[in-house]
Amino acid sequence: MTDRPAWVFVVDDDPSLRKALVRLLRSQGWNSEAFASAAEFLHYERPNAPSCLVLDVQMPEVDGLSLQRSLHEGHIALPVIFVSGHGDIPMSVKAIKAGAVDFLTKPVSDEALLRAVEQALAKDVHDREAQSDVARIQQRYELLSPREREVLAHVVSGKLNKQIGRLLGVTEKTVKVHRGQVMHKLQARSLAELVRMAERIGIEGPGDTGSHRADDLPSS
């Protein structure tokens, strides 16, 4: 999955359950730390490594759903697995809609928990890789000249080279040169890939509604 050791955090106000979960998780080769409250967890400096959170729903002061909301509002992308002895269908639906990986009812079997943790860690690895890809594309985009960025925006909107040339007041040949530089600097192997890259960093064409499909765009 990754060279960095994965972490599984546990937040539960039951000390015996915290101890049992940490023992189980560490037996599988994962790093694990447990916390008695949401506040204690939020003050912990988490390592920069694939991670997930096993979170109790019913806790004093700040409950699990409130902690999940705080993580979301703080832009902390940490996959959450809820465990609850008092869960009901509306509560589980609310948690899942808010992005939880799973909602398990106590007593939770070891197999079910480990399966959920595997899924959550895989999701975090995938999300981290996606974020890294976006950062790389953004870095390449910064290499484009202002004119190349204009050309890219028009290409993304589906315009032909000759249309772009008329809009920018340059020749079609000049547009082709700029377009070639855009492809080279962004390391795009095809128009479809170029459009996908642009979309991932939020680049849209003038007046673009986002309804185009890369496969429908002309190549010249």
More confident residue, 67 or 93: 67
Cis, bond preceding 5 (omega within 30 deg of 0): no
* CATH number for the domain formed by residue range(s) 143-216: 1.10.10.10
Structure pTM?
Answer: 0.69
Of the candidate ranges 17-21, 27-31, 187-191, 202-206, the one whose mean pLDDT is the lowest: 202-206
pLDDT in tens, 88-112: 767 787 888 878 999 998 889 999 9
Indicate whether 62 pLDDT > 90.
no
Give domain 7-129's CATH superfamily: Response regulator (3.40.50.2300)
Q: What is the pLDDT of residue 97?
A: 80
**What does the domain layout of the chain look like in residue ranges?**
7-129, 143-216
pLDDT in tens, 153-180: 999 999 999 999 999 999 999 999 999 9
